[in-house]
Amino acid sequence: MHSGFPGSCHDSYVFKRMQISQEPTKYFDENQYLLADSAYASGKYLIPCYQGNSLQDERKCKFNYYLAQSRVRIEHAIGILKGWWASLREMRTQLQNVKDMEQLINWVLCCVILHNMLAKINDQWNELFNDEQPKQPPQIYSSNSNINSLREILLPITLAHFQE
């Protein structure tokens, strides 16, 4: 039985071998993509942050800054969930098969759903959700776009979204 990759494997190495990376059209529509850190290679559906000499451009540096801010928000959201649901702090489940994984995923989803329900009825966590509704993303992809131009198109869109 194959249990996965050892913890010493880099995330980008594991990602390259995942079905989502090898068959992205099963998981992504046009205008959908993942944002990643600089350890990942650019692809049609994977846009890493800028690195190296490109960071001398102030706009690219801001782009990376706002991506990092988003990551911090995600980490805070995970922290809130773990604070609210003690069972998420240390899941003592051994993943030995697909069924175990499905049960674990369903448990996490249940915690998220319950958290959202409590927030909706003005539970004490409600003040954490006072952000405005996000704008609809613009159409950015065309079949003749290449990866670098897609990245350049995303740069001003991302900066505009985060700037006040």
* 70 alpha-carbon distance from chain centroid: 9
CA dist 16 and 127 (Å) reads: 39
Q: What is the pTM of this model?
A: 0.56
pLDDT digit string, tens, across residues 44-102: 888 888 888 877 888 888 888 888 888 888 888 888 888 888 888 887 777 778 888 88
Helix (H, G, I), strand (E, B) or coil at 36: strand
Could you tell me what percent of the chain has a pLDDT over 70? 73
What integer pLDDT is reported at residue 151 of this predicted model?
67
Q: Which domain holds residue 102?
A: 11-129+136-162
The tokens for 33 are 């993509």
CA dist 24 and 44 (Å) reads: 9
User: Would 4 be classed as within a structural domain?
Assistant: no
User: Would 38 be classed as within a structural domain?
Assistant: yes
User: Would 51 be classed as within a structural domain?
Assistant: yes
User: Would 17 be classed as within a structural domain?
Assistant: yes
pLDDT digit string, tens, across residues 102-111: 888 899 999 9
What is the number of structural domains in the chain?
1
Provide the strand spans (E) within 7-160. Answer: 34-36, 46-48
